[in-house]
Amino acid sequence: MSETLTRQHLAEAVYAQVGLSRNESSELVDRVLEEVSQRLIRGETVKLSSFGTFAVRSKGGRIGRNPKTGEEVPISPRRVLVFRASHVLKAMINEGHGVPVNGAAQGEKK
C-alpha cells in the first residue's frame, strides 16, 4: 500500500537534506507550491525539468449523458489541469518497478 506525499513530507525532506530549520523548510515548500499555483491560475505552463509539465487546458461545453438514466445533460465549459510526465520521470518510474524501458532488459544500454 502506498502512502500519500504531503506538504509536511516535502518540508521534512527539505529539512533533512538542505539543513534549513523546520519552519524555513515548511515556508520554502509553501512558497514553491504557491508560485506554481499562481502561474497555473494565470494560464501559464509550469515545466519542471526531469519531472514534467503542468498546464491548464480549456475544455468547451458539450452535451454529456447520465450513465444511469441515459438522460442528456449539458456540461459547462471549464479549465482543467493537465500533467505530462517527462521522459526522465517515466524512465525512473519504470526502472524503479523492474519494468523494462523501451523493450530493453534492465541493465542494458538504451
Q: What is the pLDDT along the chain (110 residues), one digit of tens a residue?
A: 578 999 999 999 999 999 899 999 999 999 999 999 999 999 999 999 999 999 999 999 999 999 999 999 999 999 999 999 999 999 999 987 655 545 544 444 44
- Here the cell at position 57 is 487546458
Q: How far apart are the first and last CA of the chain?
A: 31
Name the pTM for this structure: 0.73
Find the helix or strand (DSSP H, E) in which 80 lies: strand 78-85
User: Which residue(s) pair with 65 in the sheet?
Assistant: 72
pLDDT value at residue 109: 46
Q: For residue 2, which amino acid is it?
A: S
